[in-house]
Amino acid sequence: MKKIISTSEAPAAVGPYSQAVRVGATIYCAGQIPLDPRSGQIVSGDIAAQTRRVLDNITAVLKAEGLSFESIVKTTIFLTDLADFQTVNEIYGSYFKQAPPARSTVQVPALPKGARVEIEAIAVADQGGMSGQAVSDTSG
């Protein structure tokens, strides 16, 4: 059974999709672009400002389900220009204090509403006691 997650603290969906969907302990967050939740417009400013807005939007969606960035296990970053990667990476890293999730980053020709960055995330509400623990490959 799936549960639709929605919050006014993040931008409303700009199409026929949900901000996030929970199935069991797994939360699938739709890609967030740098929309201001109040105005529905792309935030003004450079790639740094856009990246912070995207990550703050993800924060709001997770918070609606009582979660934080520590619950994220996988992200995908979409950039319209890989030259922005270093700036995005530095800001992204400031949101993950330890044990960052798996991640993919890809360049795309365009994003909705002229955004320069979009990030989607998958989070797990209950990690079965594994939270914060590193796993080592001992296969030799």
Could you read off the pLDDT of 18-45 as tens digits, one per residue?
999 999 999 999 999 999 999 999 999 9
Kindly state the percentage of the chain with pLDDT values over 90.
Answer: 85
CA distances from 53 to 5, 26, 121, 127, 129 (A): 19, 23, 15, 27, 31
Q: What is the pLDDT of residue 130?
A: 45
Kindly state the helix (H) or strand (E) to which residue 91 belongs, with its residue range: helix 85-95
pLDDT band (50, 70, 90) for residue 132: very low
Is the pLDDT assigned to residue 78 strictly greater than 50? yes
Average model confidence (pLDDT) across the chain: 91
Is the pLDDT assigned to residue 62 strictly greater than 70? yes
> How much is the pTM?
0.88
Q: What is the pLDDT of residue 13?
A: 87
Average pLDDT over residues 32-60: 97
**88-106, pLDDT tens digit by residue?**
999 999 999 889 999 999 9
Q: What are 31's two structure tokens?
A: 């890609």
Q: What are 114's two structure tokens?
A: 């002229």
Q: What is the pLDDT of residue 126?
A: 78
- In the chain the domains, ranked by start, together with CATH numbers, are 2-124 (3.30.1330.40)
